[in-house]
């Protein structure tokens, strides 16, 4: 046998005896990590449940429909260049009344009787009539054109 191979064999056998196993250390770290993760998940679940309960107590039930209605009214009232006339306000209110079932369509537990009561509507018929001036568009365009010249 070659003496060189014999030396390699001896060195390998000594190396095998000197090996250190980190398996137990790794298992301990893994167990500690799982325990910590479980504790944080429990805390998150409890915090979520308590926040849901608090939200139900503190906040009034705001649904998509109410938010949409509020946004539409805010946009109609917030258009600065023009002030709406009484007739326009009546038409817009009547149009919101006619489209209420569509505005609140995505809400699961919508109470249309409550919607009617809060908005002082007598019915939710899906029709309304608008009488605009005959030359409304021409008048507005002419006004804009004159303002640009000034």
Comparing 140 with 118, the larger pLDDT belongs to 118
Closest CA to 95 of 106, 108, 109, 84: 84
pLDDT given for residue 147 in this prediction? 54
Q: Is the pLDDT of residue 78 over 80?
A: yes
Q: Is the pLDDT of residue 5 over 60?
A: no
CA distance 96 to 128: 10
Comparing 52 with 67, the larger pLDDT belongs to 67
Cβ count near 115 (within 10 Å): 20
Task: Give Cα 11 to chain centroid, integer Å.
Answer: 66
Task: Give Cα 20 to chain centroid, integer Å.
Answer: 54
pTM more than 0.85: no
pLDDT given for residue 79 in this prediction? 76
Q: Is the pLDDT of residue 6 over 60?
A: no
pLDDT band at 71 (very low <50, low <70, confident <90, very high): very high
pLDDT given for residue 1 in this prediction? 46
- Residue 124's SS3 state is coil
pLDDT given for residue 111 in this prediction? 82
Task: Provide mean pLDDT across the span 33-38.
Answer: 86
CA triple 89-128-138, angle to 5 deg? 60
pLDDT tens-digit profile of 79-120? 777 788 888 888 889 899 999 988 988 887 788 888 888 888
Helices (H), the chain: 3-18, 23-58, 64-77, 86-98, 100-103, 112-119, 136-149
CB 139 within 8 A of CB 133: yes
Per domain, the residue ranges of the chain are 19-58, 64-149
């Amino acid at each position: 046998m070659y003496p060189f191979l014999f030396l390699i064999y001896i060195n390998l056998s000594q190396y095998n005896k000197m090996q250190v196993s980190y398996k137990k250390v790794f298992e301990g770290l893994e167990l500690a990590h799982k325990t910590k993760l479980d504790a944080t998940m429990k805390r998150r679940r409890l915090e979520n449940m308590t926040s849901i309960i608090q939200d139900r107590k503190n906040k009034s039930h705001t649904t998509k429909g109410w938010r949409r209605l509020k946004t539409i009214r805010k946009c109609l009232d917030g258009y600065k260049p023009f002030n709406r006339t009484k007739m326009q306000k009546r038409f817009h209110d009547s149009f919101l009344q006619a489209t209420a079932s569509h505005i609140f369509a995505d809400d699961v537990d919508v109470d249309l009787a409550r919607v009617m009561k809060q908005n002082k509507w007598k019915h939710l018929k899906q029709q309304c009539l608008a009488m605009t001036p005959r030359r409304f568009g021409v008048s507005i365009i002419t006004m804009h054109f004159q303002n640009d010249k000034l």
